[in-house]
A and B are shown apart, each in its own frame.
Chain A
Amino acid sequence: MKKKFNFLLTFMGILCVSAGAYAADLKVGFVYVGPPGDFGWTYQHDQGRKAVERAFGDRVETTFAENVPEGADAERVMTQMALSGHDMIFATSFGYMDPVINVAAKFPNVKFEHATGYRRADNVSTYSARFYEGRTVIGHIAGKMTKTNVVGYIASYPIPEVVRGINSAYLAAKAANPNVQFKIVWVFTWFDPAKEADAANALIDQGADVIMAHTDSPSPLTVAEERGVYAFGQASDMLQFGPNARLGSIIDDWDPYYIERVQAALDGTWESTDTWDGLAPGMAALGGFGDMVPFEVRAEAMALAIGIAGGRIHSFTGPINRQDGTPWLAEGETADDGTLITMNFYVEGIEGEIPQ
């Protein structure tokens, strides 16, 4: 009996040693708010992680923790990551902001990268993408493709990022089609395929024939496919979820940024920065057009995208009034980043209220 037990202990010992034998130059942890299988937000961050693995091979080891709630749990997960020898941590949700700052203060040698936040420190960088630039382009396509002149918009939470997306999509759709009308449903979730599908169905019942979504799952696109209307891929390309419905897509492409930052950490040149990149460097990218999009709409959309990427076109160029009719941007004036970052109002023409 004792002999057997000893054998078991030795066996366990061997397994433990063999598991800890291998070490890379840099250990990078990723903290995800959802599952990598959401085919949206977290999926794209996980694609970025895989791109890092491909780019650096054995030099970099990556790990991740998924479904980490924002708040106290996130702080614990990141602390344990730092304790376990991670050199760099990507925290990929806005709600990780305070936990990142707290943990970063305790581990000055660990480099933190926080997506979509605004608090920085010597070892905390922030990064986000100008998704609204992509929304200008797909907003234009939506305006051109709608027959009923009703575009349905599934919005997650009333935060500046989402409000900005609605405004930029609306302005572009309105410019493409003066009769267009937006119907907006707030679902108060980032990822709930059933709820997102309900919202899409409700919008289609109200006459929407193009669905835009600012949530993470492909279910609005799946519903559009079933109901024979149009929609877009959101966060990832999502072509496989609605081949007949998908007009185009906005893709969050974190790969280049993640590779660049990991490279900087390896080289010892990493420092705290704030990045808000758009279509130009490709952090917000556009997927291919659906077959149903006519040639001239493609050409216009491409021209818009190239103009934005080249800095000749800005998504928010005056004259633009606020929803209540008060002037916001004068003729030819473009919005400054400060206003965009805290945007909490609709532009003129959008019906309804931002939930307060």
Chain B
Amino acid sequence: MIEIVPRTQKSNLISATIPIMAVILTMLFGGILFWSLGKNPFETIRMIFWDPLMNETFADYARPQILVKAAPLILIAIGLSFGFRANIWNIGAEGQFIMGAILSGSLGLYMYPQESSILFPLMIILGIFGGILWASIPGLLRAYFNTNEILVSLMLVYVAEQIMAAASIGFLRNPDGSGFPGSRNLSQYPSAANLEIIAGTGIHWGVATSIIAVLFFYILLHKHKFGFQVSISGISPKAARLSGINPKFLIIWCLGISGGLAGLAGMFELTGPAGQINIDFNVGYGFTAIIVAFLGRLNPIGIFFAGILMALTYVGGELTQFMLNLPAAAIQVFQGMLLFFLLSMDLLVNYKIKLKRS
């Protein structure tokens, strides 16, 4: 008989090793999946995790590309992690990402083609503001009307997508684009472009910002009163209230931070890798960042590595498609397994499994 027994004390050792165990289990079961699809599991897993980093044909290109793919994931996930710690669930980062891009993009497109050195900083501010604006809707509704922020933030993603579609075929459409949807390419407009910092790598300001954000929010979480308030609210809302933490204040700040960072990520993505506002602008960074936040144990340093790992599965996953003819869905299952094992193994932090003779 298997019995699940609560632990008297949370196991920190298990808590720290869960991400590694989840990755190993994902490799194991992923390997079985790939094997059942008729692929060599060792080769497939090597191609996902090893080739983008070390294969001499791909690595020079793929290494910086992993950072480029990881940057928005890391930025968004760090913001989300604060709320998640305090049991405030912003599921709509995807929408905030879009709104940050639309607001900052609108300014850039409005100013086109004038060159100005303050345009890019202004667009950064508008990007953050756009995200905050969109996140403040579920934030204020939760704080003052006690609505469910999970539903409101999620539904607002679809609203944002519709605004995106309307912008691409309407008010932000490229007037020189022969009637095709999509705005002008902002990455080709020097004053608004999110330029490469290191030539030839694709590393842009968003990558630098995400690394700065890791350090900044690590300090905020561990050394600042706000980080303490967030943590205590998550562990014991009652204790938090008794110690004088205003829950409304916390809700609004947590949603504001996550929205602002998602909007910022949207702005960098728009002016850099994506280039233009278009119907398919958002490719799910806001949702994938939720996995990244949990994979990183809601800790900025952990999120950094989780973002890299997730980006690796994307970049390596593409390789397996055209090198090994693996279907794209298999990689998505593989990524899903990662979150599944991670969350299911959380059980072991607070419980232990005992074998009992019946």
A118 to B273, CA, bound (A): 21
Cβ of A355: which chain B residues have Cβ within 8 Å of it? 169-170
Do B274 and A71 touch (CB < 8 A)? yes
Do A71 and B280 touch (CB < 8 A)? yes
A84 to B316, CA, bound (A): 13
* Contact indicator per residue, chain B 320-346, by CB within 8 Å of chain A (1) or not (0): 011111011100000000000000000
Q: Cβ of B275 < 8 Å from any Cβ of A?
A: yes
Q: Which of A80, A94, A157, A343 has the most CB of B within 10 A?
A: A80
Cβ of B179: which chain A residues have Cβ within 8 Å of it? 159-160, 163, 342-344
A184 to B87, CA, bound (A): 46
A220 to B19, CA, bound (A): 45
Count residues on chain B whose CB falls below 8 Å from chain A CBs: 42
Cβ of A84: which chain B residues have Cβ within 8 Å of it? 57-58, 319, 322-323
A29 to B181, CA, bound (A): 27
CB distance from A77 to the nearest CB of B (A): 5
Cβ of A71: which chain B residues have Cβ within 8 Å of it? 273-275, 278, 280-281, 283
Give the contacts of A99-147 with B (CB-CB under 8 A). 118
* Contact indicator per residue, chain A 78-91, by CB within 8 Å of chain B (1) or not (0): 01110111100000
Do B278 and A83 touch (CB < 8 A)? no
Do B273 and A65 touch (CB < 8 A)? no
CB distance from A201 to the nearest CB of B (A): 20
Do A12 and B42 touch (CB < 8 A)? yes
Known: A15-B43, A84-B323, A98-B185. A159 touches B180 (CB 8 A): yes
Do B178 and A118 touch (CB < 8 A)? yes
Known: A73-B283, A160-B179. A65 touches B318 (CB 8 A): yes
A293 to B198, CA, bound (A): 64
Do A157 and B321 touch (CB < 8 A)? no
Q: Cβ of B148 < 8 Å from any Cβ of A?
A: no
Q: Cβ of B61 < 8 Å from any Cβ of A?
A: yes
Do A15 and B40 touch (CB < 8 A)? yes
* Contact indicator per residue, chain A 334-347, by CB within 8 Å of chain B (1) or not (0): 00000001111000
Q: Cβ of B80 < 8 Å from any Cβ of A?
A: no
* Contact indicator per residue, chain B 32-63, by CB within 8 Å of chain A (1) or not (0): 00000000101100100000000001100110
Cβ of A70: which chain B residues have Cβ within 8 Å of it? 278, 280
Q: Cβ of A7 < 8 Å from any Cβ of B?
A: no
A to B CB contacts below 8 Å, 12 in the list: A11-B42, A29-B322, A66-B321, A67-B328, A71-B273, A71-B280, A76-B69, A77-B318, A77-B322, A80-B58, A118-B178, A158-B181
Cβ of A356: which chain B residues have Cβ within 8 Å of it? 169-170
Q: Cβ of B279 < 8 Å from any Cβ of A?
A: yes
Do A81 and B322 touch (CB < 8 A)? yes
Cβ of A290: which chain B residues have Cβ within 8 Å of it? none
A70 to B169, CA, bound (A): 16
Give the contacts of A224-242 with B (CB-CB under 8 A). none
Give the contacts of B254-313 with A (CB-CB under 8 A). 269, 273-276, 278-281, 283
Q: Cβ of B165 < 8 Å from any Cβ of A?
A: yes
Nearest chain A residue, comparing its CB with the CB of B65: A76
Q: Cβ of A69 < 8 Å from any Cβ of B?
A: yes
A356 to B167, CA, bound (A): 9
Q: Cβ of A64 < 8 Å from any Cβ of B?
A: yes
A109 to B324, CA, bound (A): 23
CB distance from A193 to the nearest CB of B (A): 16
Do B61 and A83 touch (CB < 8 A)? yes
Cβ of B283: which chain A residues have Cβ within 8 Å of it? 69, 71, 73
Cβ of B269: which chain A residues have Cβ within 8 Å of it? 72
A188 to B279, CA, bound (A): 8
A305 to B253, CA, bound (A): 65
Q: Cβ of A63 < 8 Å from any Cβ of B?
A: yes
Known: A63-B325, A67-B328, A72-B274. A95 touches B280 (CB 8 A): yes
Cβ of A94: which chain B residues have Cβ within 8 Å of it? 180
Cβ of A343: which chain B residues have Cβ within 8 Å of it? 179
A188 to B166, CA, bound (A): 10
Given A16-B43, A80-B322, A355-B170, 12 more pairs with CB closer than 8 A: A12-B42, A19-B324, A63-B322, A66-B321, A71-B274, A71-B275, A71-B280, A83-B58, A86-B322, A94-B180, A342-B178, A355-B169
Q: Cβ of A349 < 8 Å from any Cβ of B?
A: no
Cβ of B123: which chain A residues have Cβ within 8 Å of it? none
The 4 A-B residue pairs with the shortest CB-CB distance in the complex, in nearest-first order: A72-B273, A63-B322, A344-B179, A342-B178
Cβ of A76: which chain B residues have Cβ within 8 Å of it? 65, 69, 315, 318
Do B273 and A66 touch (CB < 8 A)? no
Question: Which single member of A12, A65, A95 contacts B322 (CB below 8 Å)?
Answer: A65
Q: Cβ of A35 < 8 Å from any Cβ of B?
A: yes
Do A64 and B280 touch (CB < 8 A)? no
CB distance from B68 to the nearest CB of A (A): 8
Do A19 and B322 touch (CB < 8 A)? no
Do B61 and A19 touch (CB < 8 A)? no
Known: A69-B280, A71-B278, A160-B178. A80 touches B170 (CB 8 A): no
Do B42 and A15 touch (CB < 8 A)? yes
A67 to B284, CA, bound (A): 13
A158 to B182, CA, bound (A): 11
A16 to B43, CA, bound (A): 7
CB distance from B177 to the nearest CB of A (A): 9
Nearest chain A residue, comparing its CB with the CB of B272: A72
CB distance from B325 to the nearest CB of A (A): 7
A63 to B324, CA, bound (A): 8
